[in-house]
Structure 1
Amino acid sequence: MKNILLCLISFIIISCQTPKSEKKENINSQSDFTKQERFIDNYANETLKKGNVNSISLAVYKNGETYHNYYGKIKENLGKPNDNTHFEIASISKVFAGSLVAKAVIERKIQLDDDIRNFLKGDYPNLEFEGTPITIKNLLTHTLGFKERRPPKLDKIWKDISEGKYENNSIEYSVDEFLEELKTVELDKKPGTFYTYNSVGSELLAYILEQVYNDSFENILESFLKSLDMNDTYLEGCREESKFLITGYNEKGIQAPKTRNILLGAGGAMISTLPDLVKFMKFQLESEDPLIKESTKELYLDREGDKTGYLWDVDSAEEEGFYYKKTGTSDGVQSVILICPDANYGLILIVNNTSEKAFYDWATLYDRIESDLIKFPRMNLVSTLKNDFIEKTDKAIATYKSEIMNSSTYYAKARDLNVIGYQLIRENRVEDAIKVFELMTSEFSDNPYVYDSLGEGYFKNENYKKALENYEKSFALDSTNTNAKEYISRIRKILE
């Protein structure tokens, strides 16, 4: 599956509850899934040890069973997140608007090819390019054709929010002002031909929904949320600010400003809890509601092969089958929701840090958990044997070679062996690390980076000829591996 990237949030939580998990008895093996939960807990705790992420909130779904948990501390003595914690879900808000648009399409309130000017009051001759107007589909797929992402005043307010200028000040910018600014925007490309991510489209969709339903977007959204029993999900500014709104931290590690609802909120102003997001995930995977199929169908394919549905990112992969996802990024929180209906699993992952390192750790954790969910009920053999790899390396390697033959029960990934190898290096057990890296190269011989790791092991062990041999293998498989190239040059000078 393609890499995913993300984000969202801001304020605070103090209370602490025992982590909960929901259980159903229709999974293939209860004991196996309990073991999988322990793997997930270990992955999360290993991520926290890197020191770039303060807290992690996650939930998984597989074959009708759900598990959710919380890790770390929001900051220092603030405690860990819990079921009462409120998160800004940023751009994940968009897929709720997309669902409402899908419902309106099914109800024949609107059509995807409708000119959006049919729903706007006043004249907007500028909202077309060479005779091609902006349509509902263009709003859903970020293909408006705007020369600039946002009108100038709206853009300035957006940036001012990120700088904290509206922490204690109200935003003096109305929907009417936005519509007036909309008359000044310039299109420099045909709508439907270029993908440019923005929040203007979703805000316009919210306004159009108000027109066709003759009701406020807040009421339309709240009705949908109530139908899903999502009672702790709402638009920022539409309820008194929760004392449980989590504090997020930015690139500099300082408290990030809170998200503010500039217009109608469809672009990124929703707040939710993890249990409520689990309900939304289960709805996507278990309900027969036709809006799910409608909202996740492919509407646009860009030049890089990325596909978009009703504000969802949609695609398919060999193991996952069809899947769709959405990430959210506020100034202080990163989040993602993944839905894989063909493989019957889902994942939600939220951290309250947005530094580059935190983002990398968040994405890596996402990938580790998602990889296990794809394979389940097959188990990650390296995770199963992790303690033995660390404490009794030779025994673990022998067990691995024996058990990996049972492909119906176990699977393994090079990355997991690599993690163990580098842990052994950090513990100054280089010879054991080399044994693990050698196992990795024998199991994943087509992967250039396994030879890079083995090369490093031999280099640290001052076996420069073996190190050179493996770095050369790595570079032969991937000529873009600059690390291998640098070590090859360095070792050759040592061997001269």
Structure 2
Amino acid sequence: MSAQNKKFDSIASKLQDSYNSGNYDTFQNSFSNEMKQVLTLYITNQFLSYLKNNCGNIISRQLVKQSGNGSNAFYKITFERKKLVLMLTINEEDKIEEFLFKPYNISRSNPKSYEKSALKNLPQKQINAIVEQTKDFPNNTQLAIAFIKDGATSFYGIVKSNNTLKEIENKNAVFEIGSISKVFTATLLANAVIANKIKLDDNISKYYNFPFKDNIELSFKSLSNHTSGLSALPSNLNALNYLKLSTKENFVNPYKEYNKNDLYSYLQKDLDSIQLSHKQYKYSNLGVGILGYTLSLVEGENLEDLFEEKIFEKYEMTSSFTNISKVKEGLVCGLDDNGNTIKNWEWNSDVLLGAGGILSTTNDLSKFAKAQFDSTNVELALTRTPTFTLNERIEVALGWHIIKSEDNKELYWHNGATGGYSSSMVLDIAHKCGVIILSNVSGYNLHRDNIDNLSFILLNFLEE
């Protein structure tokens, strides 16, 4: 067993013991300080008591997989009355930053069923990669894929039906793109900088009519490249929505009801200055959400109109939206792990919208991607300029993550995940190539990382 596995197993063992004994104080002591603010002891007691009443004690646990460079672990948890999957995320201090219980899907597809795969019209090795990376997804899964090579775009669509992959025309099908939205929010930031309305290092507090807690300073750049030190989510957002089982009946978008008053209260009362650092990378939906909202204050327009006027219209993205009610046709339903349709995420205000609120198509995203190849587009070039070095292989720009491949190519990448969708976009600017994948694979699916894997695999094949 690796050192990281031992670390996770030690944490999981303590959680199991404290849960079974009803010692929920000990359970909560495993949380990071930020998690303790979100999941107070009272809320933790309420949730774990509810879980025990419905599922009973934990009988056994089994490590299923690790992801996120070893920071995430997935366990199959067998309770007395149910089986669930537990996802754990730990920080550098070995404290829990996130945990999530969700149903264990016992009806995983049999890879042998793909012997009757109906896929064609692609090179066999690309078909084999698609089959391999989608074999564990449920029926009704749909993928829309855009291939960009030498500036030309081709599209490929698949749908899984009766455990068989079939081709489908879906380049204009609409999906939630999740955190790929952050690249668009970064584009609005670059637009405002080039127009001399703001500077990247400006403190955003001057656009608010109240002081931030402890006079904490947050720059536009730090919000965009995840070096603000802000947590993933605000402490006054009801994180129990993340802990609810993602079924059709009760899956709730955790962002829907979070509004301006909630954000203002957070900025004035809940900012934790101890946690804030401008020297470390810490991925934050909250940070980019605040960035988008602040840009709406700078421009004096709501975020939906800014996306429409400054990006969608400019790049002829006619089927891209931030308001789902405007999607008149072509919406692909999001799925849970078992292939059941679940509710779409809705956004009632500009607050946090910039972190993940866009819906789009591979046709539209390919237009935006090809615009990145235009060397005269200073706005998009600014979003791709490195601003922070994460390690020897990864740099962070404004929105984009810049990954150095094994053959020393620079790849610009972002992915996205919501309750019912996963997406990935990877571009090789120097060679004018790219792959975009939109899907209705749940962001909480155990095999969600396969969408990212497939995008890089297909790009590699594309450039051979």
Q: Fold conserved (TM > 0.5)?
A: yes
1:134 aligned to which of 193, 218, 225: 218
Letter in 2 for 1:137: K
Distance between the aligned counterparts of 2:178 and 2:160, measured in 1?
A: 21
Paired positions, count: 339
What is the DSSP-based 3-state SS (H/G/I as helix, E as strand, rest coil) of the residue aligned with 1:208? helix
329, 332, 342: which one aligns with 2:417: 329
The answer as to whether partners of 1:325 and 1:339 remain within 8 angstroms in 2 is yes
Counterpart residue number, 2:448? 359
Amino acid at match of 1:311: G
Q: Which amino acid aligns with 2:417?
A: T
1:36, distance to aligned residue in structure 2 (A): 9.4
The whole-number CA distance in structure 2 between the counterparts of 1:39 and 1:305 is 30
- 1:151 paired with 2:238, answer no
Q: 2:153 aligns with which of 55, 63, 66?
A: 66
1:205 maps to what in 2?
A: 291
Cα distance, 1:91 vs structure 2: 0.4
Of 191, 195, 201, the residue aligned with 1:107 is 195
Aligned to 1:174: 259
Q: What's the counterpart of residue 132 of structure 2? A: 47
Structure 2 CA distance for aligned equivalents of residues 320 and 294 of structure 1? 22
Partner of 1:345: 433
In 1: Cα distance, 2:294 partner to 2:222 partner: 13
CA distance in 1, matches of 2:278, 2:245: 30
CA contact (8 A) 2:253 2:419 kept: no
Instruction: Give 1 or 2 for the bigger CA radius of gyration.
Output: 1
1:302 CA displacement:
2.9
Kindly state the Cα deviation for residue 171 of structure 1 after the two structures are TM-superposed: 4.5
- State how far apart, in whole Å, the 1-side matches of 2:161 and 2:328 are: 16
Higher strand share: 2
2:231–2:286 contact (8 Å) kept in structure 1? no
Task: Tell me the CA shift for residue 116 of structure 1.
Answer: 1.4
Using the size of structure 1 for normalisation, the TM-score is 0.61
- Report Cα offsets for 1:59-89 as digits up to 9, x if no partner: 1111122111101247889994613311000
SS at match of 2:416: strand
Q: Tell me, what secondary structure is at the counterpart of 1:194?
A: coil
Verify the 8 A CA contact 1:113 1:135 in the aligned structure 2: yes
Counterpart Cα distance in 1 of 2:335 and 2:162: 9
Q: 1:234 aligns with which of 321, 329, 339?
A: 321
Which residue number corresponds to residue 359 of structure 2? 271
Confirm or deny: 8 A CA contact 2:336 2:445 kept in the other structure.
no
- Residue 331 to residue 125, structure 1, CA distance change in 2 (3 Å): closer
Worse-matched range after superposition: 252-261 or 180-189: 252-261
Distance 2:354 2:321 in 1: 11
Deviations 1:411-452 (A, max 9, x none): xxxxxxxxxxxxxxxxxxxxxxxxxxxxxxxxxxxxxxxxxx
Find the counterpart in structure 1 of residue 186 from structure 2: 98
TM-superposed CA distance for 1:285, in Å, is: 1.8
Contact 2:393 2:404 in 1 (8 A): no
**Which ranges in structure 1 are unaligned for 5 or more consecutive residues?**
6-34, 376-496
Whole-Å Cα distance in 1 between the matches of residues 269 and 380 of structure 2? 36
1:48 positional shift = 7.4
Please state whether the residue corresponding to 2:331 is helix, strand or coil.
coil
3-state SS, counterpart of residue 158 of structure 2: strand
Shift of 1:90: 0.4
Deviation of residue 143 (structure 1)?
A: 2.1
The percentage of counterpart residues that share the same residue type is: 22
Aligned-partner residue type, residue 387 of structure 2: L
- The question of whether the paired residues in 2 share the 8 Å contact of 1:60 and 1:67 is answered with yes
* 1:118 to partner: Cα distance: 1.3
Aligned residue among 217, 220, 227 for 2:306: 220
Tell me by how many angstroms 1:366 deviates.
2.6
Normalized per residue, the structure richer in helix is 1
Coordinate RMSD, CA, aligned: 3.4
* 1:374 alignment partner in structure 2: 463
CA contact (8 A) 1:145 1:188 kept: no
Q: Which amino acid aligns with 1:334?
A: S
Q: 1:75 to 1:195 in 2, by over 3 A?
A: farther
Q: How does 1:253-264 map to 2 (within 5 A)?
A: 253-264=339-350
Shift of 1:197: 1.4
CA distance in 2, matches of 1:48, 1:114: 43
After alignment, is 93-102 or 299-308 more displaced?
Answer: 299-308
Contact 2:241 2:253 in 1 (8 A): no
Q: Distance in 2 between matches of 1:161 and 1:86?
A: 25
Q: Give the alignment of 1:376-415 within 5 angstroms.
A: none
Counterpart residue type for residue 327 of structure 1: N
Q: Distance in 2 between matches of 1:177 and 1:190?
A: 20
Q: Sort the Cα spacing of 1:166 and 1:250 in 2 relative to 1 into closer, same or farther, 3 A.
A: closer
5+ residue gaps, structure 2:
1-66, 70-119
3-state SS of the aligned residue for 2:269? coil
Contact 1:285 1:339 in 2 (8 A): no
Q: What is the alpha-carbon distance in structure 2 between the residues aligned to residue 146 and residue 4 of structure 1?
A: 19
Residue aligned with 1:235, SS: coil
Contact 1:74 1:246 in 2 (8 A): no
Q: Please report how far the alpha carbon of residue 202 of structure 1 lies from its aligned counterpart in structure 2 after TM superposition.
A: 1.5
Q: Distance in 2 between matches of 1:75 and 1:351?
A: 18
Do the aligned residues in 2 keep the contact of 1:52 with 1:361 (CA within 8 Å)?
A: no
Q: Does 1:247 align with 2:336?
A: no
8 Å CA contact 1:233, 1:270 repeated in 2? yes
